[in-house]
């Protein structure tokens, strides 16, 4: 495997934190990341990496994909993309690696089978919610506090809109926390890796967009009861008759606060809200 410090030296770059550049330099962490894919027997024939940097993780993903598989890496920084094309010329010529130079929020993504990425933290949420609906196994590095909110259970202080919307798409677990020293330059906060295994939720929602908007609306009033939340957030949820929704809902639910509501309880309430109200379409 390529040595991360040598890759940094060959690229001749110093990571720029203002451009979300914190390169993994701890071999043990780099070597472990692909194992979170093999552990669950996921299809590794086409791996996607967002934010290739100097290619230390890319190298491990090429090994994971094997000689018959391939990897696509997206990198926004022009110099780093040029370095990746030079460093991995053989793999590119053998059609085992594709380097896409561009912003991961804008470029067309290939039909990947799984993604392993040490995400640029400034846009990690937007990238995660680009990847999760693709319903592929994901192993993603985030700021630790963000990762903890993604995997949080109802009734905890970390549980919120992010937990419900993440868990709508996948079973998620926090598989590893990563200290700052594993990166060069070290980020300001600790990091953590989550693994997402796609599955259908154990509830039905007819209008996914409304469900996610309704959950977002109610969590803006985290300390209020669901009763008050429904009434106070119609401008966000788009409900036109919030009082009618309150009249139709169970008293037990109306008395709760959002952080005590499981995703399926939100889904049931969202379905009811749709039955008694036709929400205005966003935008
Ligand atoms: C945290 S570093 C990870 C680099 C490398 N994968 C590693 O683990 O060492 C994130 C990388 O994403 C790139 N990046 C930042 N914003 C991006 C964006 N919007 N789209 C694609 N890449 C981006 C940065 O230039 C940087 O190389």
User: Mean pLDDT in the chain?
Assistant: 96
23 lines ligand 1 (CB under 6 A): yes
Identify whether residues 104 and 225 lie together within a single domain.
Answer: no
Question: What's the CATH code of the domain at 81?
Answer: 3.40.50.150
**Distance between CA atoms of residues 136 and 197, nearest Å:** 7
Kindly provide the b/e burial profile for residues 160-199, where b requires at least 16 CB atoms within 10 angstroms of the residue's own CB. bbbbbbbbbbbebebbbebeeebbbebbeeebbbbbbeee
| Domain final residue pick, 143, 175, 198 | 198
Identify whether residues 232 and 118 lie together within a single domain.
Answer: no
Identify whether residues 190 and 229 lie together within a single domain.
Answer: no
Q: What is the pLDDT of residues 78-114, one digit of tens each?
A: 999 999 999 999 999 999 999 999 999 999 999 999 9
Residue with the smallest CA separation from ligand 1 atom 27 is: 53
Q: Is residue 145 part of a domain?
A: yes
Q: What is the pLDDT of residues 199-218, one digit of tens each?
A: 999 999 999 999 999 999 99
Supply the pLDDT for residue 280: 56
Q: Is residue 68 part of a domain?
A: yes
Identify whether residues 179 and 252 lie together within a single domain.
Answer: no
Q: Is residue 119 a known part of a binding site?
A: no
Q: What is the pLDDT of residues 143-202, one digit of tens each?
A: 999 999 999 999 999 999 999 999 999 999 999 999 999 999 999 999 999 999 999 999
Question: What's the CATH code of the domain at 247?
Answer: 1.10.8
Q: Is residue 168 a known part of a binding site?
A: no
Q: What is the pLDDT of residues 267-277, one digit of tens each?
A: 999 999 999 98
Supply the pLDDT for residue 283: 46
Kindly give the interhelix angle for 161-169 and 208-219, rounded to the nearest 10 degrees. Answer: 160
Q: Is 38 helix (H, G, I), strand (E, B) or coil?
A: helix
| Domain final residue pick, 163, 198, 233 | 198
Identify whether residues 89 and 113 lie together within a single domain.
Answer: yes
Question: Above 50 in pLDDT, residue 32?
Answer: yes
Q: What is the pLDDT of residues 108-154, one digit of tens each?
A: 999 999 999 999 999 999 999 999 999 999 999 999 999 999 999 99
Identify whether residues 269 and 138 lie together within a single domain.
Answer: no
Identify whether residues 101 and 231 lie together within a single domain.
Answer: no
Q: Is residue 20 a known part of a binding site?
A: no
Q: How many domains does the chain have?
A: 2
Identify whether residues 212 and 115 lie together within a single domain.
Answer: no
Q: Is the separation of the CB atoms in 164 and 266 below 8 Å?
A: yes
**Distance between CA atoms of residues 67 and 122, nearest Å:** 34
Q: Give residue 50 CA to ligand 1 midpoint distance, Å.
A: 7
Q: Give residue 266 CA to ligand 1 midpoint distance, Å.
A: 35
Residue 153: enclosing H or E segment and its boundaries? none
Domain holding 258, by residue range, is 208-277
Residue with the smallest CA separation from ligand 1 atom 11 is: 51
Q: Is the separation of the CB atoms in 149 and 157 below 8 Å?
A: no
Across 72-80, average pLDDT: 98
Supply the pLDDT for residue 277: 87
ipTM for the predicted complex comes to: 0.99
With 0-12 / 13-18 / 19 or more C-beta atoms within 10 angstroms meaning exposed / middle / buried, residue 263 is: buried
Q: Is residue 203 part of a domain?
A: no
Identify whether residues 92 and 8 lie together within a single domain.
Answer: yes
């Amino acid at each position: 495997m390529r040595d991360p410090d040598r890759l940094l030296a060959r690229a001749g770059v110093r990571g720029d934190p203002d451009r979300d550049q914190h390169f993994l330099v701890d071999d043990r962490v780099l070597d472990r990341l692909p194992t979170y894919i093999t552990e669950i027997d996921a299809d590794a024939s086409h791996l996607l990496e967002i934010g290739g940097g100097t290619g230390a993780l890319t190298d491990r993903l090429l090994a994971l994909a094997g000689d018959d598989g391939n990897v696509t890496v997206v990198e926004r920084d022009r110099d780093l993309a040029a370095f990746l094309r030079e460093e991995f010329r053989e793999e590119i010529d053998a059609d085992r690696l594709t380097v896409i130079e561009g912003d991961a929020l804008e470029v067309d993504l290939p039909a990947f089978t799984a993604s392993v990425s040490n995400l640029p933290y400034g846009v990690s949420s937007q990238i995660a919610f680009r990847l999760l609906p693709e319903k592929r196994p994901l192993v993603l590095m985030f700021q630790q506090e963000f990762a903890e909110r993604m995997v949080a259970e109802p009734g905890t202080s970390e549980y919120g809109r992010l937990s419900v919307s993440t868990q709508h798409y996948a079973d998620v677990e926090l598989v590893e926390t990563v200290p700052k020293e594993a990166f060069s330059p070290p980020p300001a906060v600790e990091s953590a890796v989550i693994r997402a295994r796609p599955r259908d939720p154990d509830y039905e929602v007819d209008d996914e967009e409304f469900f996610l908007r309704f959950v977002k609306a109610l969590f803006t009033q985290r300390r209020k009861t669901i009763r008050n939340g429904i009434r106070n957030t119609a401008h966000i949820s788009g409900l036109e008759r919030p009082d009618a929704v309150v009249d139709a809902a169970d008293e037990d639910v109306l008395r709760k606060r959002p952080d005590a509501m499981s995703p399926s309880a939100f889904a049931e309430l969202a379905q009811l809200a749709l039955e008694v109200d036709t929400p205005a379409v966003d935008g």
